[in-house]
Structure 1
């Protein structure tokens, strides 16, 4: 039985199988009625970051931690992580010119936004894995395939780091013209998507490199989280716990669906070899796949917070426990 008058909430989020129970309504949020608004993530981020158009939202980790570092607590983070992607596969280079990550030293690298979450992790690879200081690279910021993209977060770049906005060109065109040596981007340049032989990934077999990285470091990159508007939490403080419970139930049901049956996932999603993929995902996480909560993700969150500080995405070092309310930091461990 519900103990609170039901609160009407709109949740803006892309489709995720591990959140489908909640977004479909099959997994209720106690005390709330949730309406799902499905939009492209770029539109979700822009509209919520700029205008706070709805109560619950998927949000970029980079934008969120930058805001927290500047004293803006108008969003309340939940340790629910719908999007997690390794980014070794997101280095795109001119074919034949850069054959190993160490050869990125001294090069001209293009990024869509300095504060893009993927870029934080990729620069972390540069500095922590390959020993390339940020100031030994020339950085260029532009849209990946269309010109005009701008930085949305106020930065505090470290001394010696050179970042040049190029509003009139795309990174794709700059790479093909030889004006930059590599593109670091969550979305591939058009030349790579179209099979242009002049552009390739830095790593020919990214999954092998990424799996080794996960086993060695314990880091499985978190791209997005779920946030709640502060005014909603102030009015209904009990809501954050109920949301966590529902998101966790939806995730658990999703994993159970994929693992069901004597032959594993079978054809529950239109992909082959999903039983092997589930086993590899478990191995990458060291047990339960795709965990929510702070404790189960502290290694990744600590690394992200450290890199965001070192790279000037944040204006001060943000501690992991600042990102989430105390009521959900220790309660959810899986």
Structure 2
């Protein structure tokens, strides 16, 4: 009888503890042969968060030799530390060469303009998901960074300071970008940069959440048009003064569009209706309108007419094409909704978000 279990069985035991960090740390103390397998799970997701006390500097102090870092096991890396803008961390950052997900949040560095992210350039050839938040980096550098990851699919951008792209030349090659795109904040220049990418845009999901003052409706239209043959889901949430009128999006060429979601933060209801009128109803499966803090007190005649038009259109899409309408609300003024959306309310399509 063997005194020890076969290595394959021991590996299987450790693998089943992938979400038990305390047990994995104990495994590291059992035997030297267990360390590597345990570290694969312990360091699969690394968060360098200065607010939580796990800064880039503390990581460097814990692992002074970049060549011996457990970063090679990381598949997901999150950096929420403005210190990367000041400290030369290139050697340590480059050790995360196998990550598939990268998130960089420069919260706390708002006063910094033009913070460089060159230390992340081409970090991992296997990267598929990239998220930037609270970024003040110049747009050409952001686009260049995006193009340094050939397998990139999903992209999330929250830009708080825009820069001019005039005179900027697009890189010779770019990733296919076949996954999801999320835009939040100031996006005019970065969208213009994305539209110039040589391999085009092929996003299947687009989500735009921003104030109308930070939106260039023309570039958003161009963005949707570029992805019209691959787009399956679109989520739009504009915060806009009631005096501002946006031109509707033209989704007539979106040949795969199945899901639409509108977050109403004061946006023109008529804009939602006219945008919906451009879709291909035979393909569409679901339309969701989320009413957050609905600024409706006593509906005027004009406002009631706009809501009734939306009500009629959504019911028509349901009865004629089986497109499922959903209206979700989260405020204290739901008593007006049966007046504004009578047919949808009667059919049970208007519900509170917590129901």
TM-score using structure 1 length: 0.23
Task: Kindly indicate which of the two structures has a greater share of residues assigned to helix.
Answer: 1
Q: Which has the higher contact order (CA 8 A, sep 6+)?
A: 1
TM-score using structure 2 length: 0.22
